[in-house]
Amino acid sequence: MISMSLPAPSFNDGRGLYPERLSVTVPRGFPAVVKQAAEAEKVSVAEFVRRAVAHRVSMATDGEKA
């Protein structure tokens, strides 16, 4: 997977780097698949999902610019 970094907030409100939550529903068994993929990349599930979503968002926004 492509490594992407999200910009750190320009202020510190005490809630860490990523204070916002995003909730999704997935098929049964999918969390285990994501966990396995994250472990293969030696990152947390949260970081794996952040990278995957950021990658897809960047692909979608790059397509709009063309």
Lowest mean pLDDT among 14-18, 43-47, 61-65: 61-65
How wide is the angle at C-alpha 35 spanned by C-alphas 31 and 37, nearest 5°? Answer: 120
Residue 44 domain-assigned (yes or no): yes
pLDDT score recorded for residue 5: 65
Supply the DSSP symbol for 43: S
The tens digit of pLDDT for each residue in 33-51 reads 999 999 999 999 999 999 9
Q: Do residues 10 and 4 touch, judged by C-beta distance below 8 A? A: no
Is residue 1 within 8 A of residue 51, CB to CB? The reply is: yes
**In whole angstroms, how far apart are CA 48 and each of 2, 10, 25, 51, 62?**
10, 23, 17, 5, 21
Q: How many domains does the chain have?
A: 1
Q: Whole domain around residue 55: which residue ranges?
A: 30-65
Q: For residue 7, give the amino acid letter.
A: P
- Would you say residue 34 lies in a domain? yes
Asked if residue 2 belongs to a domain, the reply is no
